[in-house]
């Protein structure tokens, strides 16, 4: 069974962060006003505070997670934004397995597992219910750390907004993406060899960033060289029509349960099901080193 248990996208209750860890700002007009869902910016720099700037329905909030250590290399916020899962190898300059750590708001740390891969495509992903972590081709219980290997050792695994569908890069097919139900049922392997990026970049764009609930559309990033992890989107691919969606240059694309798509470049655009722009917003100011996340 592929990762993550429940198909529900709702997150379970978790320990509340300390008042110092979560600091809503005043409700003055924000550049993010009107942007649907939750847009977040995560900064992770050794020796500095780890900050998650969240815009939930446009309302700004900053959550802090203590100070980043010199070994913290990648981090991903939990669905409810109260925890971080962090890959912490013994040496961030070498491709060697390390610890998988969960950090609570305020900075309290707990090691979930050791000897976990974190190289390109193996960095940690939360299940939609916040109970499971996917990393290094295995599923880990976020509370107990119990490890369950996953068939095919999926990389760049992404959940759909409703938690019903997953898409990922298989070790066996570097020129294709696999789309299936969250339980691994009805898998489809979709080659993308016809895309120009297969010739122009180091390989085909198979770094899955997002997938729609019906599995038709996937947001894909160009492949990278280890140990780097690709967070940006190069294109959106229609797995039924077998062609890219004409969106021009983009940096991120995320699907919503209502069928809309949130796309960022220098602005934030919301597309409807027919791929028509229905809203355009300014992109909130942020640290250029921050990693951007989105949740429906």
pLDDT digits (tens, 9 = 90+) for 175-230: 999 999 999 999 999 999 999 999 888 789 999 999 999 999 999 999 865 567 88
pLDDT band of 5, cuts 50, 70, 90 = very low
SS3 string of the chain? CCCCCCCCCCCCCCCCCCCCCEEECCCCCCCCCCCCCEEEEEECCCCCEEEEEEEECCEEEEEEEEECCCCCCEEEECCCCCEEEEEECCCCCCCCCEEEEEEECCCCEEEEEEEECCCCCCCCEECCCCCEEEECCEEEECCCCCEEECCCCCEEEEECCCCCEEEEECCCCCCEEEEEECCCCCCEEEECCCCCHHHHCCCCCCEEEEECCCCCEEEEECCCCCCCCCCCCCEEEECCCCEECCCCCCCEEEECCCCCEEEECCEEEEECCCCCEEEEEECCCCCCCCEEEEEC
pLDDT at 110: 97
- Global pTM reads 0.87
Ordered structural domains, the chain, with CATH:
22-295 (2.120.10.30)
User: Can you tell me the mean pLDDT for 265-291?
Assistant: 95
pLDDT at 209: 97
pLDDT at 102: 98
Residue 28 has pLDDT above 50, yes or no: no
pLDDT at 226: 57
From 22-36, 104-118, 230-244, 270-284, the region with the lowest mean pLDDT: 22-36
pLDDT at 225: 58
pLDDT at 206: 94
């Amino acid at each position: 069974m592929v990762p993550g248990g429940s198909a529900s996208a709702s997150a379970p209750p978790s320990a509340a962060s300390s008042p110092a860890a979560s600091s809503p700002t005043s409700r003055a007009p924000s550049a993010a006003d009107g942007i649907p869902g939750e847009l977040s910016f995560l900064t992770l720099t050794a020796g500095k505070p780890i900050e998650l700037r969240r815009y939930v329905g446009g309302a700004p909030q900053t959550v802090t997670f203590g100070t980043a250590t010199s070994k913290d290399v990648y981090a991903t916020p939990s669905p409810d934004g109260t925890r971080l899962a962090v890959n912490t190898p013994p040496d961030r300059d070498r491709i060697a397995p390390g610890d998988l750590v969960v950090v609570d708001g305020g900075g309290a740390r707990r090691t979930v597992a050791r000897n976990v891969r974190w190289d390109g495509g193996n960095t940690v992903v939360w299940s939609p219910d916040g109970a499971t972590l996917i990393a290094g081709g295995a599923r880990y219980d976020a509370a107990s750390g119990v490890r369950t290997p996953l068939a095919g050792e999926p990389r760049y695994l992404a959940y759909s907004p409703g938690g019903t569908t997953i898409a990922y890069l298989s070790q066996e097919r570097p020129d294709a993406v696999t789309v299936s139900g969250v339980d691994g049922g009805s898998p489809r392997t979709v080659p993308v060899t016809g895309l120009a990026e297969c010739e122009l970049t180091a390989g085909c764009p198979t770094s899955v960033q997002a997938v729609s609930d019906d599995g038709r559309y996937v947001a894909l990033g160009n492949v990278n060289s280890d140990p780097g992890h690709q967070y940006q989107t190069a294109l959106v691919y229609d797995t039924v029509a077998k062609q890219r969606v004409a969106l021009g240059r983009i940096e991120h694309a995320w699907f919503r349960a209502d069928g809309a798509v949130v796309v960022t470049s220098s602005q934030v655009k919301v597309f409807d099901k027919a791929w028509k722009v229905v809203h355009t917003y300014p992109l909130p100011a942020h640290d250029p080193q921050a990693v951007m996340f989105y949740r429906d």
